[in-house]
Amino acid sequence: MNNPSKSSGIKDIANALGISIGTVDRALHERTGVSPKTKARVLQMAEKLGYKPNLAAQALKLNRRLEIAVVLPKQISHFFDPLRAGIRAAADATVGMHIKVTFYEYPRLGQGDLELLEARLKDKYDGIIFTPGNPRKLESIIQRLAAHGTAVLCVASDAPGSRRIGLVSAHAYSSGALAAELLSHKLSRKTHVATITGELTTFDHAEKLRGFAATLAMLAPHLSLLPVVESHERPKEAYRQTIALLHGETKPQGLYISTANSLPVLRALEEEDLLGKIQVVTTDLFQELVPMIETGKILATLYQRPYTQGKVAFESLITHLLEERKTSPMIRLAPHIIFRSNLPLFTDRLDGLADPGRS
C-alpha cells in the first residue's frame, strides 16, 4: 500500500495520475483552467498520497516581499522597548522571505499616533502593528487602512468593532481579576482598596478595571473600591493624584496600579511612608521595581510579557498575510504573576533585550 508517513510532492501526484505537474499545481490552488474532473482526481490523489507542499521550494519561487510598519509610542519604554525587540526577533527569524520592517515612534499613546498612521496610508504597507490608545478616535483610520489593503493588527490593547484583522495582548480582564484576588489573599478584614490606571478610553485599561471590580465583588465583598484614578500616563499627574488619594478621608489598604507607569505612584507611597504597609500590586517589570519586590514592598507585579507579545504579533501578522487573510488571530496571553520567589526568573531579561527561552 501507499505509505502515508512518507509525504509526497506535486511530482508524485502528477506521475500517479499520468498528467503534468502544471495541471496538478492548478488543481491544488483553485486556479482557473482545470476541468472539474481532473481537479477532483488530483485532489483525491493528493489526499491519498498525503501531499505536503515543500515550503522551502514555495518560498524560494514566490520570493515574497512584505513591508510591515510598526507604529508604537516611545513611552512607556519599559513596555514598548521589549515589545519592539520581540517584533525584531521574530522578523529576523523568518525563513525565505524578504520582510522589511519600519519602526515609527510617537511620544505617548494618544499623542501623534493618528498622524503617523495617516501618513502610512500612501506608503502601501502590507501590514501595520500598532497599539490603539483611544480606539474610538482611531476607528476611522483603521477603516481607511483596511480599505487600502493594509492589514492592521492591534497589539497590547484592542480596538473592538474596528476593521483590525486581529489582536495580540495580555488578557486584561484576567490581570484585573488577579490583582483583586491577590489583594484579597492579604486583606482579610473589611477595608478599602484603590486602583490607578492610565487612560480609561484605552480598551485594555478599562478591561482590567472591569476584571478588578467584578472579582473584588465576588471573592472579596469586604473590600470596597474607591473611585478610579486616571493618571493619563503622565508622571506628574500620577504623582499628584496619588498624593490626593492618600490624603483622602478613606485610606485604602490595598492598591492596584494597572499601568506600567507606576514609578510616580510608588514615589508618592514612599514619601507618605506607606510602602510595605499597604498591599500593592503593580503591572509589568523594570529595574526599579526589582528591589521593591525583593523586600516585599510590592506584593506582586503582573507581567504582561511585552517581548512575547511583540514576537507573537509579528508571527501572527505574517501568517495572516501569507495565508491569504484566512486566519484572524485573537490572542490573549496569560500574564505572569511575579512574586519575590520567582522574581529571579524574570530579572535577567531586564538589561538586554534578549529572551532566550521565551517564557
Partner DNA sequence: TTGAAAGCGGTACCAA
Partner DNA sequence: TTGGTACCGCTTTCAA
User: Contact at 8 Å (CB) between 173 and 211?
Assistant: yes
The region of 18-26, 192-200, 203-211, 249-257 touching DNA under the rule CB under 7 A is 18-26
From residue 197 to residue 226, the character string flagging contacts with its own copies as x (rule: CB under 8 A) and all else as - is: --------------x---x---x-------
Report how far residue 260's alpha carbon sits from residue 282's, in angstroms, rounded to the nearest whole number.
7
Residues 6+ apart with CB under 8 A from 29: none
The region of 19-27, 124-132, 198-206, 333-341 touching DNA under the rule CB under 7 A is 19-27
By C-beta, is 260 or 313 nearer to its own copies?
Answer: 313
Measure Cα distances from 281 to 10, 176, 210, 249, 317 in Å. 57, 10, 16, 22, 33
Report how far residue 27's alpha carbon sits from residue 35's, in angstroms, rounded to the nearest whole number.
9
**CA angle centred on 80, ends 67 and 92, rounded to 5°:** 40
Report how far residue 85's alpha carbon sits from residue 270's, in angstroms, rounded to the nearest whole number.
32
Select from 53, 112, 276, 329 the one that contacts DNA (CB under 7 A). Answer: 53
By C-beta, is 38 or 327 nearer to DNA?
Answer: 38
By C-beta, is 97 or 200 nearer to its own copies?
Answer: 97
Report how far residue 304's alpha carbon sits from residue 283's, in angstroms, rounded to the nearest whole number.
7
Q: Is 58 in the site for DNA (CB under 7 A)?
A: yes
Q: Is 29 in the site for DNA (CB under 7 A)?
A: yes
Strands (E), the chain: 65-73, 98-106, 127-130, 151-155, 166-170, 191-197, 223-225, 229-230, 254-257, 279-283, 300-303, 330-333, 336-338
Measure Cα distances from 136 to 71, 144, 201, 202 in Å. 17, 14, 8, 9
Which position has the grid cell 529595574?
A: 287
Choose among its own copies, DNA, none what residue 25 binds, the Cβ cut-off being 5 to 8 Å by kind: DNA
Q: Is 62 in the site for DNA (CB under 7 A)?
A: yes
The region of 30-38, 96-104, 145-153, 287-295 touching its own copies under the rule CB under 8 A is 96-104
The two most distant CA atoms of the chain are separated, in Å, by 87
Select from 16, 19, 219, 333 the one that contacts DNA (CB under 7 A). Answer: 19
Choose among its own copies, DNA, none what residue 9 binds, the Cβ cut-off being 5 to 8 Å by kind: DNA
By C-beta, is 79 or 303 nearer to its own copies?
Answer: 303
By C-beta, is 352 or 357 nearer to its own copies?
Answer: 357
From residue 20 to residue 59, the character string flagging contacts with its own copies as x (rule: CB under 8 A) and all else as - is: ----------------------------------xxxx-x
Select from 16, 25, 89, 200 the one that contacts DNA (CB under 7 A). Answer: 25
Report how far residue 312's alpha carbon sits from residue 303's, in angstroms, rounded to the nearest whole number.
16
Select from 113, 126, 181, 233 the one that contacts its own copies (CB under 8 A). Answer: 181
Q: Is 66 in the site for DNA (CB under 7 A)?
A: no
Q: Is 61 in the site for DNA (CB under 7 A)?
A: yes
How many residues bind DNA (CB under 7 A)? The answer is 28
By C-beta, is 74 or 358 nearer to its own copies?
Answer: 358
User: Contact at 8 Å (CB) between 196 and 157?
Assistant: no
Q: Is 323 in the site for its own copies (CB under 8 A)?
A: no
Strands (E), 228-275: 229-230, 254-257
- The stretches of 18-76 forming alpha helices (DSSP H) are 21-28, 36-49, 55-62
Q: Is 32 in the site for DNA (CB under 7 A)?
A: yes
By C-beta, is 11 or 148 nearer to its own copies?
Answer: 11
User: Contact at 8 Å (CB) between 103 and 70?
Assistant: yes
Q: Which residues bind DNA (CB under 7 A)?
A: 9-11, 18-23, 25-26, 28-29, 32-35, 38-39, 52-54, 57-58, 60-63
